[in-house]
Amino acid sequence: MNLHYPPLCDALAAEYVLGTLHGAARRRFENLLPAHPTLRRAVSDWERRLNRLAAASATEPPPPAVWRALERRLFPVKPRHSWWNSLALWRGLALAGVLAAVVALAPQWAPPEAGLSFAAIRDPNRDVLWTVALADDGRLHVNSLRAMDMPADQRCLLWLKASDQPPTMLGVLPDQGDARILSLPAGMPRPVQGALWVSMQPTTDATPPVRPLYQTHWQVL
């Protein structure tokens, strides 16, 4: 590029100011500006010319189609979803399918139908991590709905927090997508209502959690 040839400098400066110089050519031109006073003067001359033209031109409102296109780009409208495409619907159907599969494929874990109460323990995204069912014989049937990446020295413990009472540990929760039966502590009456807490701590630590990792309401129906 011969920058000592005035017509070339003027043509490049005009394209740069008008915005028609694109891509790598525009970047090379900008890199050359600090070291070439001739180019900087040409750019300044073209900026003055265009500024005078802009000041002398009448204001022209953009067509309505331009405004509509800008609104669509800046403020996109979220598409409406029918109930058939609802994520909550399919999550509910998936949970029902999982529970049905657990009962069908592992009948030894299926609680009796009489005197049964269910609870679902969810994460902050409202995804179900465990289901807990209290059978008529007072045992808790717990299902883990997905495998969890647990530290080697930690386990998830299930606690029952009744009103005005410290939490009572019910046992270790399954964490590999499997199921487990937990027996209530000796002498503990059948829990009627309260909250189920989940903590993550060593199994040798029986200290009740100050704040649960997950929790859900519990009430026998």
Kindly state whether residue 32 falls inside one of the protein's structural domains.
yes
DSSP string, 39-82: HHHHHHHHHHHHHHHHHHSPP-PPPHHHHHHHHHHHSPPPPP--
pLDDT > 90: what percent of the chain?
Answer: 6
Residue 130 reports pLDDT greater than 80:
yes
Q: Are residues 116 and 19 in the same domain?
A: no
User: What pLDDT, in 10s, does the model give residues 162-171?
Assistant: 877 888 889 9
Q: Are residues 24 and 121 in the same domain?
A: no
Global confidence as pTM? 0.47
Kindly state whether residue 183 falls inside one of the protein's structural domains.
yes
Rounded to 10°, the helix 23-32/6-18 angle is: 120
Tell me the mean pLDDT in the region 51-80.
70
Residue 70 reports pLDDT greater than 50:
yes
Q: Are residues 117 and 39 in the same domain?
A: no
The answer for residues whose C-beta is within 8 angstroms of residue 191's C-beta and 6 or more apart is 134, 160, 162, 184, 218, 220
Kindly state whether residue 90 falls inside one of the protein's structural domains.
no
Structure tokens at 76: 């996109």
* Number of separate domains in the chain: 2
Residue 50, CA atoms < 13 Å, CB-side half-sphere = 13
Asked if 42 and 9 count as a contact pair (C-beta separation under 8 A), the reply is yes
Tell me the mean pLDDT in the region 139-157.
87
Residue 1 reports pLDDT greater than 60:
no
pLDDT bin (cut points 50, 70, 90) of residue 2 is low
Structural domain boundaries, residue 164: 107-219
Q: Are residues 55 and 146 in the same domain?
A: no
Q: Are residues 111 and 171 in the same domain?
A: yes
Kindly state whether residue 189 falls inside one of the protein's structural domains.
yes
Kindly state whether residue 67 falls inside one of the protein's structural domains.
no
User: What pLDDT, in 10s, does the model give residues 81-124?
Assistant: 554 555 555 565 565 555 555 444 444 444 434 444 778 898 88
Residue 119 CA to residue 126 CA, distance in Å, equals 13
Kindly state whether residue 42 falls inside one of the protein's structural domains.
yes
